[in-house]
Structure 1
Amino acid sequence: MSERLKALADAGVSIWLDDLSRERIETGNLADLVKNSSVVGVTTNPTIFATALADGERYDAQVRELAQAGKDEAETIFAITTTDVRDACDVLKDTFDATGGVDGRVSIEVSPGLAHDEAATIASAKELWAEVGRDNLFIKIPATTEGAPAISDVLGEGISVNVTLIFGLDRYDAVMDAYLEGLEKAKANGKDLSKIHSVASFFVSRVDTEIDKRLEASGDPQAANLLGLAGIANARLAYQAYEKKFAGERFAALAADGANTQRPLWASTGVKNPDYRDTMYVTDLVAPNTVNTMPEKTLQAFADHGEVAGDQVTTKYAEAQQVMDDLAKVGVDYDDVIETLEREGVQKFVASWDELVATVKGQLGSQK
């Protein structure tokens, strides 16, 4: 057992692995990470699946079978990804039971091409939920303007949701409202609120990447002092918003019927800039009732030399706000940054999906 990762978990951070492959499942690697590295959840995305397919022979038999059945790329992707996610859910079932459904979760996302199509997003979420057929599944839905009502409707059906692609505080506030509306719909539909869970995936490192680029282009002499500070400051203010929202009367009424809070999940926590500490997006965002989904490289780095120095979020709200104020003073337009990141985020998700489709197309073609 990694003592550093255990200390992180003991501080209230649920450690999720941002990766999945059939090899991890079939070799027992995922089970080993659960047993020895305090991993209590898994997140996936199209790039992860494309990499797994391109690198692994363990998919060959299923791809061959699907090709012989005349399945197209979309049908093959659906079959392969839901198989892996279902099997991962089974690996994490004991964790799910032990935590009362809080952890032991595996996330699978709707096609990114549906990000601006509310009805199609809802239909895809229901289809994925039914096909995987596991209570410890999370359906990932992007936090676009069109995604918000889809989030509420899917939750209203009693389906647990991982809201992804959140960069800005205003968007995050809307996501939390969508969650509360979803719980209200679920209650009206006679669903057991205690069985519905959700996380809000707030992206961290990409904020630094975009803002650092603007700081480096700035002629202000103070700009260099703010490099690498925005992502963590932004996330800390998101947690402040989370505390305020779920201390409100609207949630209190739902909590009386067993509702759970929507936990903040720190996503994009692999460090992009080699000049920064490789565990900064873990160490500096320790707070109770959070999730940190890490690529394996970050997980291993923390296991090796990560430090847990208690709550690093709720005691630093004023410091975080000062960073954001200072960024504005040197000319960083926060709203424009967030708009850019949201637009690029959807584009990157679609590009990843196209990569997965191309990979599957090649795999199917090789079987003919």
Structure 2
Amino acid sequence: MTSTQIADVPINRQRLLERFLRYVRVGTSADPTSNTYPSSPEQADLNRILRDELLAMSVTDAHQDENALTWGTIPATNGGGTPTVAVVAHVDTSPDAPGDNVMPQVIESYEGGDIELPSGKMITVATARELEDLVGTTLITTDGTTLLGGDDKAGVAIIMELALTLIENPHLSHGPVKLMFTCDEEIGHGTDKIDLQKLDATVAYTLDSGGEGVLDVETFSADAATVHFTGYNIHPAIAKDRLVNALRGAADFVAALPRDTCTPETTEDREGFIHPHRISGGNGEATVDLILRSFETPQLTEYAKIVRDTADKVVEKTPGLSVDVTIRQQYRNLREGLDKLPESVELAEQAFANLGRECKKTIVRGGTDGSRLTEKGLPTPNLSSGQHNIHSVTEFACLDEMEHAVEHLIELLRLWGEVRS
């Protein structure tokens, strides 16, 4: 194993665990129906807690800005003149499952096999094969009525523990480290309020991937589509030859989209899809919301054409029905920006190798804050944070993997500290 600087710096596992348990108990579900930022006030509450904890650690510039984001800096210990590295995690959790009143359950020295939760729900090895590799580790679940929030409070806890470990061990060599905690990542707004000039970093890393040893180097490119049908509503008792049912048009549109290919249910690996995920409205007006995903950005144009053409054909068959199609860019493939700073990936790989750990370079069938930050000009790969079964009441996290993530960051920061700006 290549020499590293962490051999004499054990990570405080108990403190890391207590930190994580403290954070997940603050319900911070993002609200996709809200017009505020952040979309739920509890996100600001958790970021305020993080600010106060950073100040207590002696992070003198720790603050919460007008958008509820929390910032901080760990000064360089290597004399300066090396790149600034930012580490980023989001405090919000998915709205796909209940996120309030989280009751974390700690399983010390997991013995293997299926895990029955207090609610009666099961985390099975059949549906979470990674459990086979986690025997003997410490796992954290919920009682089975809520999600856990390891996505991304595991990342939050890792970064906070990293900060205190660096402060407690000033002999650890590193350049300037910026700490960044965002809101509303789960609903696509995680980077909306980040001032990159203020962050002033050369490279960033999000701690928002599953398991251990993962280095996400590609994500989907993503657009959203809204298809709005307008008909003519009238009382059904007098509707003959007068009612134009927009809801029926929306249903016909969804039914006419590709079914055997190009859907989340039929694709995997590098295959993209068109996904209608919400339909709303009534007879007079109805809306279908869709997401378009592909690892090859030009394919999104093809998907948008399918959406438009399908909507137009529905309108042609329904006299009196009209449609408006809006396509919105969301984020772009991480790869397209990382190629501009190869060291962002190479040094992360080297840090894993120095620790004698496997590195799994992966693609993400989704996006992260790193996708948007990279698109804006700040190369930001995504790293493991020990989260599993995310967005589900069977979600769990692994403390051992979180501890290893802190160690990896310490080594990664050392390597960046050897690069001259």
* TM-score of the pair, normalised by structure 1: 0.25
Q: Which structure is higher in strand share?
A: 2
**Rg comparison, structure with higher value:** 2
